[in-house]
Amino acid sequence: MLYAILCYHDEGLVESWTKEEDAAVLAKRHVTVDKLRDQGKLGPVIRLMPTTAATSVRNGREQLVLDGPFAETKEQLLGLYIVDCDSLDEVLETVRTMGQGESGTFEVRPLKLMWPDSRPTERQTKSAS
């Protein structure tokens, strides 16, 4: 089954890491993530830009465009991994190893891909990459 591993953390705290500390966290996770990739179980890995870059549209009779993320919370959604695992136990095991020595929270949520083959074309991503 496909799962999303949603990474929640206090954004201000993550921004207080030095570049080296940030890189060390990712490098540590990569050991686990690489294993999944070797087994063909890794989907897209996404790091979200800071919530300060977010814009929200609240629907209703009048649509409201708001600056910032949808809700003010102590911890923010900062990124996610998509993985294909056989069981919840397998994902949880992965997540436990991945997060060793870290703070923050990983939420594991099963998902379904609605348009599995869709990807932005070169033209659309040019300015951002």
Partner 1 sequence: MTELAWIDAALTSARPQAVAALLRYFRDLDIAEEAYQEACLRALRTWPEKGPPRDAVSWLIMVGRNAALDDVRRRAKSTPLPDDDIPDEETIEADMADRLDNANYRDDVLRLLFVCVHPELPATQQIALALRLVSGLTVKEIARAFLVSEAAMEQRITRAKARIAAADVPFETPGAVERSERLGAVAAMIYLLFNEGYAASGGEAHIRQSLCEEAIRLSRLLLRLFPSEPEIMGLTALCLLQHARTPARLDQQGGIVLLEEQDRTLWDRDMIAEGLALVDKAIRHRRTGAYQVQAALAALHAQAARPEDTDWRAIDGLYATLQTLQPSPVVTLNRAVAVSKVHGAEAALAMIEPLSEPLAGYFHYHGLRGGLLLQLGRAEEARRAFDRAIALARTPAEAAHIRQHLDRLQKDSAA
Round to whole Å and give the CA distance between 126 and 36: 29
Comparison of 1 and 96: residue with beta carbon closer to partner 1: 96
Helix/strand/coil percentages in the chain, nearest 5: 35, 30, 35
Comparison of 22 and 34: residue with beta carbon closer to partner 1: 22
User: Residue 32 CB, nearest distance to partner 1 (Å)?
Assistant: 16
Round to whole Å and give the CA distance between 14 and 2: 27
Comparison of 65 and 114: residue with beta carbon closer to partner 1: 65
User: Residue 116 CB, nearest distance to partner 1 (Å)?
Assistant: 26
Round to whole Å and give the CA distance between 125 and 103: 32
Token pair, residue 17, equals 């890491």
The residues binding partner 1 (CB under 8 A) are: 10-17, 19, 21, 24-25, 28, 49-53, 55, 65-68, 72, 74, 101-103, 127-129
User: Residue 115 CB, nearest distance to partner 1 (Å)?
Assistant: 24
Comparison of 121 and 129: residue with beta carbon closer to partner 1: 129
Round to whole Å and give the CA distance between 61 and 55: 19
DSSP assigned state of 50: P
User: Residue 63 CB, nearest distance to partner 1 (Å)?
Assistant: 14
